[in-house]
Amino acid sequence: MKPALGYAWGEPLTSWQQIPTGDAVRTLENELICSKLKFSFGHHLIRVGALSSELNCSDSLIEHQINVLSHPNDISKAGIIAEYDELPLQNNSVDLALLNHVLEFSVDPHQVLREAHRVLLPSGTLILTLFNPWSLLILAKLWPFKSKPVFEKSRLFSIARVKDWLHLLGFELTDVQYACYSSLVSEKANWQKQGRFNRFMHWLLPKGGSVCVITAKKREWPLTPIRPRLRIRTSFSPAIRSASVNSVANKHSQLGTK
């Protein structure tokens, strides 16, 4: 597996306002995530990152929801203050983990996923939102007149690469959705006019959305004990030397001479 360590990054996003058209992107992602939270069950839900903590998760049936923040602007909103690659939670203790655009701004995204896998219960749900580099979002990196260079400080991993990481950790992908087919360059984008364009691009390039929402389940396959095969031991029977043909013939000849 190709390493993904990066020492030039490590400053996670603290607000949706750092993203161009951040309010519209938040509304769009919130709708996609809420459609999945309606079918989530359990006791504990963690929202990792500042962007996750600002989402409305009231549609979830999980009442106990905890915000995990590394650099909170408002301490009152943080249930847990910790680094995302070192969560102070017990193993197999969380039913659902929500990570909104955490991997792109993480120094070690592998470790972030490993921690999410560690704290999730077997059959627990992981919801990831990522920026898709193979989309019009690449213009945000090349656009010279951008006022919010947030994507210059990010690493946009391909969706196929993130899927490979999840498979190696033992996750089972249950759903992958793409949305937001704009470039996220203009802060004054008219999303109403882009409705037809988004529908057309979704038909033309279904995997070309600038935002991707991945839902995965933690799977742990139990080991099935195999019964040892019973070997029936044969009883000891000494071999008895049988009479040879020549000896029998000699006995008959001797009887005949007599």
pLDDT in tens, 209-222: 889 999 999 998 77
User: How large is the average pLDDT for residues 88-116?
Assistant: 95
The share of the chain scoring above pLDDT 90, in percent, equals 44
193 has a pLDDT exceeding 70: no
**Distant-in-sequence, close-in-space partners of 154: CB < 8 Å, separation ≥ 6:** 9, 104, 105, 131
16-218 has which fold? Rossmann fold (3.40.50)
Residues for the chain: how many in total?
Answer: 258
Which tens digit of pLDDT belongs to each residue from 131-141? Answer: 998 887 766 66
Domain boundaries, the chain: 16-218
| Mean pLDDT computed over every residue of the chain | 81
Poorest-pLDDT segment among 56-70, 86-100, 198-212, 241-255: 241-255
164 has a pLDDT exceeding 90: yes
From edge to edge, which strands make up the β-sheet containing 44-48? Answer: 80-81, 64-69, 44-48, 94-100, 120-131, 211-218, 171-179
Which span out of 16-20, 137-141, 169-173 was modeled with the highest average pLDDT? 169-173
CA dist list (Å): 118 to 62, 74, 90, 187, 250: 20, 27, 8, 38, 86
Tell me which of 186 and 229 has the higher pLDDT: 229
